């Protein structure tokens, strides 16, 4: 199946990152958001990201112009009916995603595949909100999308082999390496990563070491490019607690309980980079 146009629901960090990856690959990216300001910001973000690549001489001015020509925006969901493939990248909120997916399912041709970029919600459950669970798949990109090489492809109970094959083809066309994962809370990467970050927060809470020393220990001792607390700030502490709660409820296992310090910081509005304060402060 040749994919010429990808619809992307959500113009935030993940949505505009996916749109950029599509545009650079020569695939039309139709980015939808109900907020026109968010759409403008999404396009500006893509342009700025390409400018940085241009400055580093990784792309030419002509390549930037060609990529930007593939970026389209809309606030009307009906416009997505012309897309070959649609990726939902809205906020990590189950109720919101289900509403969007039901609306989307009602207007798309029966043959169109719907993917969700959820990082933790059950693919089988989201697929059940549509009448095409066989043509529904999890397509979990990692932040920042233009730079990160991995895409987790998560099969729901009803996801067909053909749908998986098309998702693999698209991921490779975007220059990504796909891995195939069964549906389970947090899938694979976040299942391993988020409890590790949560444990680092417990270490900080218990006064075992400073945030800087915890992060330096993990960077220098395990060769990670960024420490777990700095990574939590980048992900967003609100996202972190949401994922840990999904694990806690999904597995009924106390080892997944969110650290009390994480709860306290989210309650205070210290969400990381996006609020200027998390485990570190940001200008």
Positions annotated as catalytic residues are 119, 140, 152, 190
Q: Where are the alpha helices (DSSP H) in 132-236?
A: 161-173, 189-205, 211-222, 228-235
Can you tell me which residue has the tokens 């969700």? 116
Query: Max alpha carbon distance in the chain (Å)?
Result: 56
User: How many residues can be counted in the chain?
Assistant: 283
Beta bridge partners, 181, equal 154
Residue by residue, what is the 3-state secondary structure of 63-112?
A: HHHHHHCCEEEECCHHHHHHCCEEEECCCCCHHHHHHHHHHHHHHCCCCC
CB 95, CB 21: distance < 8 Å:
no
CA distance 188 to 252: 18
Measured in degrees and rounded to the nearest 5, phi and psi for residue 30 equal -100, 105
Residues 6 or more apart in contact with residue 115 via CB below 8 angstroms: 85, 86, 87, 88, 136, 137, 138, 139, 167
Of 278, 273, 279, 250, whose CA–CA distance to 94 is shortest?
250
């Amino acid at each position: 199946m040749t994919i010429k146009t990808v619809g992307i629901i959500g113009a935030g960090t993940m949505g505009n990152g996916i749109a950029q990856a599509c545009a650079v690959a020569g695939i039309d990216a139709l980015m939808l958001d109900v907020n026109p300001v968010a759409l403008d910001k999404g396009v500006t973000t893509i342009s700025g990201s390409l400018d940085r690549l241009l400055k580093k001489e990784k792309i030419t001015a002509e390549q930037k112009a060609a990529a930007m020509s593939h970026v389209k925006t809309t606030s009307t969901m009906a416009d997505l009916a012309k897309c070959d493939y649609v990726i939902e990248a809205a906020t990590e909120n189950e109720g919101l995603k289900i509403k969007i997916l039901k609306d989307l399912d009602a207007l798309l041709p029966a043959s169109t595949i719907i993917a969700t970029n959820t990082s933790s919600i059950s693919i089988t459950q989201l697929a059940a909100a549509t009448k095409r669970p066989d043509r529904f798949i999890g397509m979990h990109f990692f932040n920042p999308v233009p730079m990160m090489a991995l895409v987790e492809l998560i099969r729901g109970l009803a996801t067909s082999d053909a749908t998986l094959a098309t998702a693999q083809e698209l991921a490779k066309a975007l220059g990504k390496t796909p891995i195939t994962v069964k549906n389970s809370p947090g899938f694979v990467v976040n299942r391993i990563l988020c409890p590790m970050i949560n444990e680092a927060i417990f270490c900080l809470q218990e006064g075992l070491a400073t945030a800087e020393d915890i992060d330096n220990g993990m960077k220098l001792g395990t060769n990670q490019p960024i420490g777990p607390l700095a990574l939590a700030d980048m992900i967003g502490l609100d996202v972190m607690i949401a994922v840990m709660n999904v694990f806690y409820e999904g597995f009924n296992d106390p080892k997944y309980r969110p650290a009390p310090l994480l709860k306290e910081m989210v309650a205070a509005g210290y969400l990381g980079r996006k609020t200027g304060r998390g485990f570190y402060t940001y200008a």
